[in-house]
Amino acid sequence: MTAAAPTRTRAVGLALAPTVAGGMGVQVAVDDLELYDCYDLPELDLGTVGGISLSATCDQLFLGRHRALLEEFVRSGGRLLVNGHVVEPFLPGLARWRRLVYEGPRDLVISRLSPHPIWDGVDLDDVLFRTGVPGAHTFEELRAIGVAGFYGRGYHLDLPEGARVLNGIGPLQAPIDYTFALGAGEVVVHGGLDLLTFADPTRSTARFATTVIAWLRSDR
**Residue 178, strand partner residues:** 165, 189
**Cβ-contact 86, 175 below 8 angstroms:** no
Q: Is the dihedral of CA 209, 212, 213, 218 positive or negative?
A: positive
0.85 exceeded by pTM:
yes
Domain-by-domain residue ranges, the chain? Answer: 10-216
Rounded-to-integer distance, Cα 35 and Cα 158, Å: 31
Rounded-to-integer distance, Cα 178 and Cα 146, Å: 26
Confidence band, pLDDT 50/70/90 cuts, at residue 220: low
**CATH number belonging to domain 10-216:** 3.40.50
For 1, residues 6+ apart whose C-beta sits below 8 A from its C-beta are none
**Residue 164, strand partner residues:** 179
Rounded-to-integer distance, Cα 153 and Cα 46, Å: 33
Confidence band, pLDDT 50/70/90 cuts, at residue 142: low
Task: Provide φ and ψ at 97, rounded to 5°.
Answer: -80, 140
Name the more confident of 80 and 29.
Answer: 80
Give whole-number Cα distances, 216 to 10, 23, 50, 126, in Å.
Answer: 8, 22, 6, 23
Task: Tell me what pLDDT residue 25 has.
Answer: 43
In which element (H, E) is residue 63 found? helix 60-65
Judged against a pLDDT cut of 80, whether residue 15 lies above it is answered with yes
Give whole-number Cα distances, 65 to 39, 42, 58, 89, 172, in Å.
Answer: 11, 10, 13, 11, 35
**Cβ-contact 113, 167 below 8 angstroms:** yes
* Side chain identity, residue 93: G
**Residue 185, strand partner residues:** 182
Look over the chain and give the mean of its residue pLDDT values, rounded to a whole number: 88
Query: Tens digits of per-residue pLDDT, 32-85?
Result: 899 999 999 999 999 999 999 999 999 999 999 999 999 999 999 999 999 999
